Structure formats: structure tokens, C-alpha cells
Structure 1
């Protein structure tokens, strides 16, 4: 089975509904390590060598976060700046992350149709994730389309949140058990809970 490492970054954890529910759904799964960045590093004193060792030990790296001002929360960016060093993650001799799978799990407050040239966000959601996707390429990782919850603030009110959280757990288990159709998923712009029906093979429905 693949070993999954999830970096969960949310500076307002006590106000979170979607991201906290997602994290709680996968936190104790076998073969899954969940790192609550803001809980572990409240003073931003990131332990670089420990984080690098942890990256080496896992096969799938997932960044889970709410989209903040079209980017990641600041601690996740700082983690990237410090941990993904030249000679470790990229550059001469930097092949520690080569061939590992990389994926984002993102919540966005705007509705899906806002993320287009005709919508009020003007660009597709993936445009705002381009720096992360390019980082994965530079580190020779295999990037997959993000798992996305649009209009996340209203999701708990219109009953979409339970399906999304359940889907996140199914996704993580599918990646762990190597049942996720990575090649097929690559044709998607983003992955949503309803897409997992065709992207997870041999799934038990009990």
C-alpha cells in the first residue's frame, strides 16, 4: 500500500467546517499521516530536517487548505520555502521527491461558475494553483488534479459537505490502496466528489 502524507493548513481552525471535517475523516486511517501545520508550528518554527525525513518516508503528498487570497495560507508557503531545499527537492542531487504523487485538496468560497473567464474570479481555479503544480514538476513529482469543494462556506447548509467529506476519505483510501485511476483523473480540470464514482476501481460500497 502507498503511504499518504497530508499537510493540513488552516489558520482559523476553530472557524472551519469543511476542512476540519475533512481532516477528522482521514486522520486515523492506517497508512495515513496527517500534519496539522498550524497546530504543530504555532510559532512557525518549522523543523526542516524532520519534515524532509517525513517526506522521504511517504509515497503520496497532499496539501489540504482553503484558498486564501488566491494562494495557500502563509504557513504552507513558508513550509515550502524552507523544506523544499535545493539539493533535496530539486537541483543538483535533489531527487528526494522524484516520482512521488502530489495532489491538492482545496476548498474555495466562490461558486464553481465564478472560476472562469466569464465569472467574477476571471480565471479557472487551476490558474491559482499553478505555482504549486510547477513546484511539483520541478521536484519531479507526479501531479494530479485537485480535489475541490466550491462554495465551501455554504456547503454545510445545502448538504454538500457530507458527500465531499465522505468522498475525501474514499479518495485517500483509494490512493493508499492504489485503486485511484491516476491516468484517467489527469483528464479532469478538478475532481469533485461525484467524479470518484468513475475514478475509484474495485471500491467496496458497504
Structure 2
């Protein structure tokens, strides 16, 4: 699949995980990478260019920290302006039909917080439901999120390298069309999927 990765991080210079994930994606042949805050520091979105980008790709990945159970402001602005009626949805809006999308998220809290019994009261996928329903409206195929929990301690605890390796494998599987899309849509998390497309359904 022609794969597009959008980074939405307002301070990549302070990012210990998102910035390295973006650089890792940039190092993979065949993956298109866009730094939204780098391109639009004043929030003046080039809607035509963004619509052309997503039209030309089969998979759209949003790489971002989780802010208040949502995304940084510029990515929300991107959604508001780019996913227009008549382009992305509506009777004549079929530009995104069948495309794959998912959120690659870094979370401050530990994994245990993202369960029905945990501090956040729900799985991460449940908390990201607005993005899934947006994808449904646009007739896209929404996959489970790929997440790193306790992101602020990942480097200190040595978990960043394995996460980056899994991220590379996931993107290559997506690019090479070896990811089991049906399983990825049914899962709670993309963590645990191998480059061969084998799925591991796990609570996050």
C-alpha cells in the first residue's frame, strides 16, 4: 500500500518518542512522511495539497501524542478543513473509500490506566472512537491503534528501541500489503502484530 504518515506534535524538539518514530518512518523506502506543524506553523492549511496527498495514498497513519483523549490542535484543524463534504463523505464524497487509517499514539499513563477497570475507564480504542466513526463516515477502514504507554519513561526504562522496531515492522507490513487488515480492524491494539501479518489480540 502507498502509505502516508502524518506527524502531529507541536514540540518535536522535546519529543523522546514521536520524533524518533517519525525519523524511523522517513527511513523506510516507500513511506511518505509529513510533519504537519513543520509545514503549517501558522495553521494556514493548504487544503488542496492535503486532499491530493491523501487521495494519492492507500493508507493514512496519524502519529501523535494523546492530548485530552484526542489529538494536538493542528491535526484536528486538518480534519475540520481537509475532510470536506463532497470530498471525503456525503453522496458524492468518495475520495477516501476503502483507504486504511489508524492512530499511532504515545500515552503518558501506564497501560493499566487504559482498561475499563483503570483510571481512564476504557480501552484506548474506545477512547479514540471519534476517529473510528470519522473513518466510517468517510468509508475508510479503521485499524486498531498502535500505542506506547508510559511514554515519558520509555527511554529511561529502555522500552523505546523495541517500540521503534515494532513500528518499523508494522509500517513495512502495511506498505507491502502483508498486514492482516481484517484482524487489525478487529483488534484492540496493533501492538503485537508481526510483519507477516499475524495478529495478537490484546487488551491495552
Normalised TM-score (structure 2): 0.93
Instruction: Tell whether the 8 Å contact from 1:114 to 1:120 is kept in structure 2 after alignment.
Output: yes
Structure 2 Cα separation of the partners of residues 33 and 195 of structure 1: 22
SS in 2 for 1:119: coil
- Let me know the Cα RMSD of the aligned residues: 1.5
> What is aligned with 1:179?
178
> What is aligned with 2:11?
12
SS in 1 for 2:61: strand
Moved over 6 A (4+): none
Deviation string 1:96-125 (CA, Å, 9 cap, x unpaired) is 000011111111111111112221112221
Task: In structure 2, list runs of 5 or more residues that go unmatched.
Answer: 200-204
Instruction: Tell whether the 8 Å contact from 2:102 to 2:142 is kept in structure 1 after alignment.
Output: yes
Structure 1 Cα separation of the partners of residues 188 and 196 of structure 2: 15
Instruction: Tell whether the 8 Å contact from 1:174 to 1:200 is kept in structure 2 after alignment.
Output: no
> What is aligned with 1:38?
37
Structure 1 Cα separation of the partners of residues 46 and 56 of structure 2: 16
- How many pairs does the alignment contain? 199
Trace 1:154-193 onto structure 2 (pairs within 5 A). Answer: 154-192=153-191
Task: In structure 1, list runs of 5 or more residues that go unmatched.
Answer: 202-206
Normalised TM-score (structure 1): 0.92
> What is aligned with 1:196?
194
> What is aligned with 1:149?
148
